[in-house]
A = this chain, B = another copy of it.
């Protein structure tokens, strides 16, 4: 019997007493100096080299070497972050976008860090934001959630875009349900221009984002999706950037765990995050990325920046404490 993802994540949050995950979005130029490859001053990633192409020119094989060195640096750094935060949080969110510029080597690095996170006992959210028509979403689901249930290099959950409706999301849910994995559907994102589409006012006075919230709750509460915790294998990405809307979305989606982005570098506060939890202190996991993984660059950690992993671990602990303070009740 495969365990429901909503139950798994809820239990892991309770065990660590931390409704927090760390977002691993590594930029080469922000890595600790000692870890950066020699030529990381360049601003753009090397272009992926076509294997066996008639066009393979010297500068392409150099590009490929650079991509390999860059991907190796991301892995070394990622392992350092994973080991620093694993004692404090139940989960890590790895954003594949930061690996894709390095081509095949970047993809291998992404999967290697998923395996390393699992070894450290973390639940892994693959932040991939995929979706397409059903026939094609099935391929994305295979790529990002597929494989046997115990495979170390496959994420435990992924993020998915709702613009195609159920056709784009369903193939991910099919795999997730079968393998004890999860899907977080984008509902209210953290970026400045989020409201251009998500905030459009509908004929009934609600917004696109509220309508998507209702739709996702319907999918989340369908037969076989809700675990004994009351939470579904289908959750939602909800940033508290619009507080009134967040309170409404929380009420519309009782069975969904919220993955809450936008903290630290993106400017959201712990008090705003509190609105993403249900009244019993469950139902949300708050992500911090840049403010934790680059802590060694912050003024407050500068005196110990030589020990970058300690800075990351300390920033993580502080973030966990900040969220614990504002949660409706410590679950």
Chain A: residues with CB nearer than 8 A to chain B?
25, 44-55, 60, 95, 97-98, 100-101, 103-109, 111-112, 114-116, 119, 127, 129-137, 139-140, 142-144, 146-148, 151-154, 161-168, 186, 189-198, 200-203, 205, 208, 211-212, 215, 261, 266
Contacts and interface: CB of A to CB of B under 8 A. Distances in A.
A200 B48 CA distance: 40
A129 B160 CA distance: 11
B25 A136 contact: yes
Contact of A198 (B107, B163, B195): B163
B47 A146 contact: yes
B191 A48 contact: no
Pick the 4 closest A-B CB pairs, nearest first.
A165-B196, A47-B147, A165-B193, A100-B143
Given A161-B163, A202-B202, 12 more contacts: A45-B143, A48-B107, A52-B112, A53-B112, A53-B115, A95-B136, A103-B108, A129-B161, A161-B161, A163-B189, A163-B198, A167-B192
A197 B162 contact: yes
B163 A197 contact: yes
A196 B48 contact: no
Contacts of A46: 147
A97 B132 contact: yes
A138 to B, nearest CB: 8
A53 to B, nearest CB: 5
Contacts of A151: 47
B47 A153 contact: yes
A193 B147 CA distance: 27
Contacts of A193: 164-168
A140 B101 CA distance: 7
| Most central of A97, A130, A168 by chain B CB within 10 Å | A97
